[in-house]
Each structure stands twice: as structure tokens, then as C-alpha cells.
Amino acid sequence: MIILGLDTSTKTAAVALFSAAPFAILSTHEKEVTAVSDDLLSLVQAALADASLQLADLGAIVCGAGPGSFTGLRVGLSTAKALAYALEKPLGLLSSLALLALRATEGALVCATLDAHQSHVYAGLFHIKDGLPRPVGEERSISPDRLKAELATQGAFVVGSGALRYPELAQADTLIDDSPGPRAVDVAKLGADLAVNQRWEENLLCAAPRYIRASAPEEKRNKT
């Protein structure tokens, strides 16, 4: 089965074409975008062309569902749902924080972070076991000061745009790298595990981004 994977949780849109069993990456594309809707389909088309494939060759779609950029997540998942519906193929959702955590080494405890703005970060703690991120607790929106205090007692590595925005989150030698968002290769790796285990969305229409917190307009409206 050939699978198309997408993630648009940050300013970098990531697209991967891959097979799940056996696992093989066929094509990857990444691009820093200002308007995800203008670039995402062109990245998909470029990935298909690299692999000499067409949309009709796809067997499934997987998509990073957040947390992350509210607009980016909506565009990415809307695109993934439209393709899955038009092609009559299954859709799987991936945690964008788990995608980040994949960059840690086997056995590591890693805190994946994304800049949530408004003096908060999205954070998820994962243990890497058998090459995959296993959640330790819930993903959440948290202040950098509070997260820093928690990390000081956990000895975890950190990764992602949240740690880059707030350098105090990383102690000496704990920042994995300076890449802010999920990579296309990690979309492929985690997407392949989802496909092998058949963790597809049961109701395509109900598939939604995992925002974790309300947007600024929603928070303002809730206070009135």
C-alpha cells in the first residue's frame, strides 16, 4: 500500500510518500510556507511526480492533526479529508508532537514542544521504545516557566519550536536539534506504524484537528 503523509502544524509543510509493509520512503518534500493552502497541493504533486505516481495509486492518507498552527492544521486536515473522500481511501491522524519526538534515540525520555504563542507552549512527554514514541501523560498547553520546572526533575531531552522559542527549556546537551517542526521522514515512520496497526478514523466527517486549547478569538469570546 502506498500512503501519502502530510503535516502542516508549523510554518514548514511536510509531505511524504511511503509504503508501510515493507517500509520504504518513496519521496519527501518540505517547504517553509506563508500560506499553506497555496503550497500544500503543489508539494503533494511534486512528491507524486518524484515517485512516478498518481493520486489514484494511493491506498491511504495520514495527516498530522496537531497541536500546532490553527490555520495550518485546518488546511492540512481539510486537504487530507478531501483526498481521502474523493479517492475513497482510509484516513489516519498522527500527533504532531509524537512526530517531533521521533527524533530522539531509543530509550530516551523526550519532551516535544511547539510554540503555542501567548506565552505558552504545546508539550508532550514521550518515551522512545522499539523506535516509536510512547506517550507519558497527556499533551497540553503550558507556560514555559512551569514546563522548565517540570523538566528540571525529569531529565528529558527536548525538541521543537517551543524549545527554540524559549531556550531556557533546554539544559546543557538536552536540545536534540534546531529543527522547529515535524519532518517528512518522521511522518512516514509514524504513518507506517499507524497503517500496519490499522488505526484509521472510523468517521471521516468527524475527523478534526487536536487544538488542545481555544484560539485567541475563542478565548476572548468565552470571557464575554
**Mean pLDDT of all residues in 31-41:** 76
Q: Please give the CATH architecture assigned to the domain spanning 98-169.
A: 2-Layer Sandwich (3.30)
pLDDT in tens, 70-85: 999 999 999 999 999 9
Q: Look at residue 37 in the predicted model and tell me its pLDDT.
A: 64
d(CA 150, CA 153): 6
Identify the CATH assignment for 2-96+182-216 out of 1.10.760.10, 3.40.50.2300, 3.40.50.300, 3.30.420.40: 3.30.420.40
State residue 69 phi and psi, 5-degree precision.
Answer: -60, 125
> What is the chain's mean pLDDT, rounded?
92
CB atoms under 10 Å from CB of 11, counted, come to 16
Specify the pairing of strand 140-142 against strand 120-129: antiparallel
pLDDT in tens, 163-216: 999 999 998 789 999 999 999 999 999 999 999 999 999 999 899 999 998 755
- Report the DSSP beta bridge partners of residue 26: none
For the full predicted model, state whether its pTM sits above 0.85. yes
| 154 neighbors 124 (Cβ within 8 angstroms) | no
Q: Look at residue 32 in the predicted model and tell me its pLDDT.
A: 86
Within the chain, where are the H helices?
36-50, 70-87, 96-101, 144-154, 161-165, 184-196, 216-223
Instruction: Give the pLDDT band (50/70/90) at residue 222.
Output: very low
- And the C-alpha cell for 180? 522547529
